[in-house]
Structure 1
């Protein structure tokens, strides 16, 4: 220790010269405790090793005294003469430091002032910040030697050697191995998300071989349920979300994003390399443009879609690509240079330039060309020439257009040569309508239109024959066979496909509770007949304004549909028949009736449709008769609500017999008994013939255009390529001419049906239709060779100026190659981050805590790893195994580290004293089950879990579904209620699940219908397995089944007493089982 009596003399020299640094005495540690932490937090970012604005460093006192462009920053002993004090106390924001955020707190300023006034003493050994580029995470991992000095008898594989070395260093004694049943439950829940059955437990206990654990691990890793379990983990990290948003304008993710989820599951089950998965997620459209299976991986980028704001979309793409794949917070460099890591603001926008060209489209899947029904959402480079500019201070309203930013990766992470090269795309990627399955699907739809037109023509011809023949005996509508009948007591997935909305089955009826401007839809899976009668009984229960409930029919992918509904709108309740065409709804006055539609009262709608004539009957009284202005095409029938809550009681669908009379529109010429006049029927037959001609011409056009499109993909081109183009152009124009003929016929029928008041307007429309027909016929005389390709993909709306034409092919013939270059850069074996980041996530989900606690920030602000050598060894092992996750799982779960007991009973006293938080793994970490595991385990133990893999997301309203929980719709708007009680993943970001213990969880397990039902089924299964079992044996079986353990003597005694108090019989046993499901050990992985 230095002589304290010499301090005044040294201080005097320091004050006089301003250059001498006084060393700290033993008790003089104000600088280390009160000054340096403030400088480190608020000043180092601009005046440290990373950056030296004005050539000033403050990471050491010596550097501060040397000063920068403004001279000495600290005048020891004289705070008033120190420029540092002047800057941190300035009231002028132009010169105040720090320039951003809140000013230093008064107590922080006072501490710095006092430190300077006392001579600014500092440690002699003070060292500057290390070079940021030498940060541990920015250096490629190198396999370290496996420690050999620790107890070799305790180790099973290299993981244990690294853990044992830390035990030895910190004086820790590891806990013994967990009980075999405990390990089996732990590894089963970890690898497949389901607890072991009693039979699996018995088989494992009976296997006394050294390979028993390996046998179990192999079985679990080979199980299809492994992909589902670990798929949900990676869905957390990669922010899986179904389509959600507010209305039509603020939309996130994509419809049919479930294809990406299925790709994740299948990739994991196939043990596809993690590096390959990253490449496919970032750039499958450039690397494998015609591989539909791999294109599903593009859901990672399609999910980032945000219609409302393109900058927010790309900001989230950059932020979560870097966090998920690199463990870096690139988003912190959007407005200014990163405060901690060597990422400049320009480099942030260089990263944005990589993604700048990309948009999202939906590609057709085999058998479906209706993109509302299905399709694969995927990225593609749409705007190849899009430029990127730095947004000054991160404000997209203020771009710096003096400099175009080129795509680039950060210099400090560069590996090899960054050289994105444009990718020439195959024809089928540019013209997805040329894919054979797309052409076939279009042909099938065209055939269906012909069949429908033939049926409609046959029906109207029959009507004409009936009208010209003697009067038939009327056939009541009720005698027509019922095609669909549903009283909505339970979910009928065979009948209905729920869309948007909040649909739930309760109290013997179907309830829809969503309000607002997003329409709720329940689509009938069965195609209705051409002429049909649909009856719907329901009770409107609420809404904010419009309160509309009804049915649509002829709903098509093109956007056309007709609809009939009742509205309880306070300022104008009504019944309405309407239609949508060209993206806009028409609500004709002649299709409306003002009428009362009471809330909380039952109503019945009867919708009868024959040809273009629509009749709507409400509560037994005729309400509206209306003729649709366009020849109908086959489409779906849907139950809908708009800004309405309703309870649905019954639905019936029948074919409408030709003998059932319908009312003509109220302004049509009167006819006896509502019968259609013969001249109109004859015109309707003519219209039917024209409709059939249109359908047949459209079929010929589809065949010709498909042949011409596919010829474009052939190498060398066929000799008749030019003739195919001409045929495609001719048949398309012929189809247009046939359609104009049909429209003219429709207009002539409309004139025939007109009242005197309507006559002039309809004559004008007929004249226009006549002119359009003549124009189409003239175009047919010189068809040329230009035609419209068959649509095989649809671009997602980029803005409200998009048209149907701009959303369809052809798409660009090349891609920039930027994302594939980025994918290769990220997965380069020399890259320091991706393997470490992935290993950290996998380790965390097995061992209960990550090696690097800041799982998405491996940068200088993040927390260093607790076991850096183990992390690097695992990263290299992972990479050299072909990035095999299954290899890594096997290594971890068969280690002695993983197999230790999680109990601290009998632990050495030094363990709890030296490492109370178990940072160095002297025992296993007990963790809470995730939400999905809780629900899936209940169903699994009850024998109710539906093990089917994949498929469309299940609406949260179908909470009685028995599918695995990861298949429910999962979005910011919609969460399955039971799952939401147990720390379900946030779609905004969920790099590490939170663990909570709150009363709602116990209430969910005690009072939910799911828990009660599964308790009954588990109890019944146990009783059925051993019908004569005494209560003692039954309780033991219940413990083994639910908790994977035998009850202790005390637990058995308490259980017997409790069961006796509940009574005898299955009901009592079910109540006991429900109590056992509420045991802490059920929701805890020990």
Structure 2
């Protein structure tokens, strides 16, 4: 062997030996730090670490705790830390369950200590930096920057034009599945109408759509509906759920919030005008602080006034902090889908939200009318302070509010450090301390800076959260099926790449909401049928339809159900905006009120024919029909309504006076139009279902009419009764109309 070969051989042997030695040493960043954060730092951090052993810094680790040094570098195997671990005492039990470290994790610590327990200079371990199996860190998926993924290339399915279909198709291919066929045009149009405006199409509109064979037929209808005033009413209702909208304050007196309806109208107008979502966010949090302030932007700050308000709290000083919690919770839930309020008393148990973060966000509202003031102000500023009259708005009471402190266990009488107003720390790249207000400002400008942080295009939550909400209301279920929680306990996204692509596209399209509607509605995924030829086998694979292999069948929500009844009976009043109407409520529902006689004065009958959006919402007296069909909670941000199926819903549809009145009006109109015999049945089907009845439906309908006519004929001899309730023919046809309004075809969307 020549000298060169010997030298090469020696180098290789030395390299292998060095590599073997390196393999025996544990890496601090990749092995040790994650282990300490996951297993130890929860107890050994902060001002009062357990046993006075601080494991977040090199200094604390080397200093040790009450029992002395944690490690013995001269005799590593005798280190106190390793002894406690070997004895099973560390980590301690949780809820009676052992937390003993697996052998491989013990080996990591042994190798690290044996090698000298090197700790990088200046390295501070943060409990929130990494996720574990029991909590989320700043590395949680929802806190990572939005990265636009490439649109997948499909292998077995045809490559679609719409990127949404490519992302959905790629997941289906992985499971050797295929999407459902397209829904029929009649089904598609009804779905589209309810999706965008919350109302059914007429027979004429259905027939016109069926006759239109152009490739742009659906797009033309989408554009027309998006330009309709009813679009903002439909989608405004979803937003009102999020911001806990109501027209009264709640609690015992439940007094009216004057001009709350102006905020509702502002939301409708903002959506109809396609206000960019980033401006939509900023206006509601800081419409009084923006340079282009107008009366409308001040109305938008009604967002901060919509919560329940107690005019006589047990402790007014404590109640200030309850009000802060409401503002923090509604803001963080609506815009960020994070449960920041859970950090009021301590660090968040599951997410990377420190207690200090809660008070950082709260500091943005601390300069406002939080403290107890005159009862007549309902927890808000005076018109002079607000700068406008007849507006339920919010503004700061000065540029420099008193200090706000972190509170030990959330207790007012146990203040800790003063809070430095700032954004949340869970997104380090965007973390910022709020600047002092400009000279001469009447406001602290903290809310504006918070709003700008939320609306920052680089904020990983804002766009993701909103496009997830759009998907939810178009498909019945969201990509992240816990739409108000994107934290550790969130339901994982069904299609994370699709979510990021949509979020990026939303920002690139100028935060324009209507463009995103059209993108979703023109996808084959949205246009699928709710039936599938492989339903049985696919349902076994994916019963929750997380892969979107078919459309979801959905029941109409409370508002759409009531509005649809008014629409098909020809009574719906489409006036937009203004003060709400008070519906008639059964006397039995008033029994729980302290002042029954003056508690509720229903509006005139003609006023009650308006859309449900304009129904006066009294927190202590929500209409029973609406709550039976899962109307939203008005005390907390509601990102997803419950969808229940209970016997009382059937009873309401059978017995509620509103349903009977719509049935009678529909029957009266058909008879007044001169329809006879089968034409009456045909017109009834056309009005309710926007189609002609089938032969079997004709037969059953005529049989029903004959039976009911015999039942009501004796009333013909009682003119007073007939004048009040209608002729026997009207009552018989109304009975049939009542059947149709109770049918699944009317109540559900395919």
Q: TM-score, structure 1 length as denominator?
A: 0.53
**Partner of residue 332 from structure 1, selected from 328, 338, 342:** 342
* CA 1:73–1:994: 2 relative to 1, 3 Å: farther
**Partner of residue 668 from structure 2, selected from 1008, 1017, 1020:** 1020
The answer as to 2:619 corresponding to 1:975 is no
CA offset at residue 332 of structure 1?
1.7
Indicate the SS of the match to 1:390: strand
Indicate the residue corresponding to 1:344 in structure 2: 354
Indicate the residue corresponding to 1:877 in structure 2: 505
CA distance in 2, matches of 1:125, 1:942: 74
CA offset at residue 330 of structure 1?
0.9
- Please list, as runs of the form range in 1=range in 2, the aligned pairs for 1:303-318 lying within 5 A after superposition: 303-304=306-307, 306-307=309-310, 308=313, 309-318=319-328
Indicate the residue corresponding to 2:699 in structure 1: 1053
Contact 1:254 1:305 in 2 (8 A): no
* CA 1:72–1:1051: 2 relative to 1, 3 Å: farther
Q: Structure 1, residues 118-160: CA drift from partner, whole Å, max 9, x if none?
A: x969999999849822221111212211112255647341111
The answer as to 2:741 corresponding to 1:1077 is yes
Contact 2:131 2:139 in 1 (8 A): no
CA distance in 1, matches of 2:684, 2:251: 47
For structure 1, the 5+ residue unaligned runs are 1-19, 21-38, 58-63, 89-97, 99-103, 426-812
Cα RMSD of the aligned pairs, angstroms, is 3.6
CA distance in 1, matches of 2:266, 2:206: 32
CA distance in 2, matches of 1:143, 1:1035: 54
* CA 1:48–1:1008: 2 relative to 1, 3 Å: farther
- Please list, as runs of the form range in 1=range in 2, the aligned pairs for 1:529-608 lying within 5 A after superposition: none
The answer as to 2:272 corresponding to 1:269 is yes
CA distance in 1, matches of 2:178, 2:44: 42
Indicate the residue corresponding to 1:896 in structure 2: 524
Indicate the residue corresponding to 1:258 in structure 2: 261
Indicate the residue corresponding to 1:948 in structure 2: 575
**Partner of residue 395 from structure 1, selected from 402, 411, 416:** 411
CA offset at residue 991 of structure 1?
1.1
Contact 2:248 2:619 in 1 (8 A): no
**Partner of residue 82 from structure 1, selected from 88, 98, 104:** 88
CA offset at residue 70 of structure 1?
6.2
* CA 1:48–1:396: 2 relative to 1, 3 Å: closer
Between Structure 1 and Structure 2, which shows a larger proportion of strand residues?
A: 1
CA distance in 1, matches of 2:546, 2:180: 14
Contact 1:177 1:899 in 2 (8 A): yes
CA distance in 2, matches of 1:352, 1:1046: 58
CA distance in 2, matches of 1:173, 1:152: 7
Contact 1:288 1:295 in 2 (8 A): no
Contact 2:562 2:612 in 1 (8 A): yes
Indicate the SS of the match to 1:953: coil
The answer as to 2:708 corresponding to 1:1066 is no
CA distance in 1, matches of 2:46, 2:174: 33
Q: Structure 1, residues 434-491: CA drift from partner, whole Å, max 9, x if none?
A: xxxxxxxxxxxxxxxxxxxxxxxxxxxxxxxxxxxxxxxxxxxxxxxxxxxxxxxxxx
CA distance in 2, matches of 1:129, 1:863: 16
Indicate the SS of the match to 1:380: coil
CA offset at residue 970 of structure 1?
1.5
Indicate the SS of the match to 1:422: coil
**Partner of residue 602 from structure 2, selected from 958, 974, 978:** 958
Indicate the residue corresponding to 1:180 in structure 2: 185
Indicate the SS of the match to 1:856: coil
Q: Name whichever of 374-383 and 256-265 sits farther off.
A: 374-383
Indicate the residue corresponding to 1:1001 in structure 2: 649
Indicate the SS of the match to 1:379: coil
**Partner of residue 217 from structure 2, selected from 207, 212, 225:** 212
CA distance in 2, matches of 1:892, 1:68: 63
Indicate the residue corresponding to 1:918 in structure 2: 545
Contact 1:253 1:304 in 2 (8 A): no
Indicate the SS of the match to 2:526: helix
Contact 1:253 1:303 in 2 (8 A): no
CA distance in 2, matches of 1:306, 1:898: 41
CA distance in 2, matches of 1:73, 1:884: 60
Indicate the SS of the match to 1:316: helix
CA distance in 2, matches of 1:892, 1:198: 25
* CA 1:346–1:982: 2 relative to 1, 3 Å: same
Contact 2:324 2:362 in 1 (8 A): yes
The answer as to 2:361 corresponding to 1:361 is no
CA distance in 2, matches of 1:1056, 1:124: 82
CA distance in 2, matches of 1:255, 1:1039: 43
The answer as to 2:58 corresponding to 1:411 is no
CA offset at residue 379 of structure 1?
2.9
Indicate the residue corresponding to 1:715 in structure 2: none
CA offset at residue 340 of structure 1?
2.4
Contact 1:275 1:827 in 2 (8 A): yes
CA distance in 1, matches of 2:695, 2:150: 48
Indicate the residue corresponding to 2:446 in structure 1: 818
- Please list, as runs of the form range in 1=range in 2, the aligned pairs for 1:71-150 lying within 5 A after superposition: 71-72=81-82, 81-84=87-90, 87-88=92-93, 98=94, 104-105=95-96, 108=97, 129=132, 132-150=137-155
Indicate the residue corresponding to 1:852 in structure 2: 480
Q: If you compute each CA radius of gyration, which structure gives the higher value, 1 or 2?
A: 1
CA offset at residue 361 of structure 1?
2.1
**Partner of residue 985 from structure 1, selected from 610, 616, 632:** 632
For structure 2, the 5+ residue unaligned runs are 1-23, 25-34, 57-69, 110-129, 314-318, 370-379, 584-600, 711-728
CA offset at residue 321 of structure 1?
0.6
Indicate the residue corresponding to 2:60 in structure 1: none
**Partner of residue 194 from structure 2, selected from 177, 189, 196:** 189
* CA 1:1020–1:872: 2 relative to 1, 3 Å: same
CA distance in 1, matches of 2:426, 2:131: 20
Indicate the residue corresponding to 2:287 in structure 1: 284
CA distance in 1, matches of 2:681, 2:108: 67
* CA 1:122–1:422: 2 relative to 1, 3 Å: closer
Contact 1:230 1:268 in 2 (8 A): yes
* CA 1:122–1:345: 2 relative to 1, 3 Å: closer
Between Structure 1 and Structure 2, which shows a larger proportion of helix residues?
A: 2
The answer as to 2:457 corresponding to 1:829 is yes
* CA 1:424–1:1072: 2 relative to 1, 3 Å: farther
- Please list, as runs of the form range in 1=range in 2, the aligned pairs for 1:623-642 lying within 5 A after superposition: none
CA offset at residue 255 of structure 1?
2.6
Q: Structure 1, residues 281-313: CA drift from partner, whole Å, max 9, x if none?
A: 000111157511111100111224734311100
CA distance in 2, matches of 1:49, 1:421: 32
